[in-house]
Amino acid sequence: MRADLVRIAIPQNTAQFLKLYAPFSLKWNDEEALRLAVWLSNTSGLLAEKAPELLTIDEAKDLLVSVWGRKLGPDNSREARSAEWVIAALSDFRGQIQARDLVRFFRFASADPRNTVVADRLLSPRAVRDAIVGCSTEKIEEIKQEIPLLTEIFPRLQHATNRRIPFDAASSGLTATEIHFLEEIGVFIEDRGEYFMPEIFRFGLGFQLSQGARPRVLTLARRALTAS
């Protein structure tokens, strides 16, 4: 069972329940997600060499260099490392990443016509970045079906006057209970008095990043992955 759905179904003594049934939780981490990325690339014939069944995280990253490059730009650039960027962008602030979001990422990224202009990889940096937009849009619709309370909360966020990150959650029209709820399921995170939203939700909800906020958002997502 997914931890975010447990928090919805069992609002009281949630931590006790999660600890008791931890061996049965459905939980992916970045290593498993990268293995899935290798498997998808391998079964699609995108890899030059057949990948072994058991991979370390470093082996998975090395195999995927031919797919999306080592960085989202030239290897000697200051751009983010591709593997870390993709995993962070698809994760929520509870360190949760879903297999369907990664599969969807490959669907959008591989269909981008700009892939034809790169010679050192299959997916262009722009295709990789822009694929998150479509992933986020579909993610919003799916999670509203899974968590009905979000059908009331998300429209208010989508029509909020100030849709920039970081943002003042208190002025967004949300109650303290709703803010806490969104933190519990990984949609919000509070950092030094400011609220942030992960990329996998931000685009679908129509939020923009303030200048200089992108590195902080991805850092918070990577921190959540490490802590999960």
Structural domain spans, the chain: 3-227
The string of pLDDT tens digits covering residues 114-153 is 999 999 999 999 999 999 999 999 999 999 999 989 999 9
CA-only gyration radius of the chain, Å: 18
- The structure tokens listed for 56 are 């370390």
Task: Let me know the angle formed at the C-alpha of 205 by 203 and 207, rounded to the nearest 5 degrees.
Answer: 65
The string of pLDDT tens digits covering residues 34-48 is 999 999 998 888 776
How far is the C-alpha of 80 from the C-alpha of 71, rounded, in Å?
Answer: 6
How far is the C-alpha of 191 from the C-alpha of 216, rounded, in Å?
Answer: 10
How far is the C-alpha of 29 from the C-alpha of 102, rounded, in Å?
Answer: 12
Task: Let me know the angle formed at the C-alpha of 105 by 157 and 74, rounded to the nearest 5 degrees.
Answer: 105
Kindly report the pTM of this predicted structure.
0.87
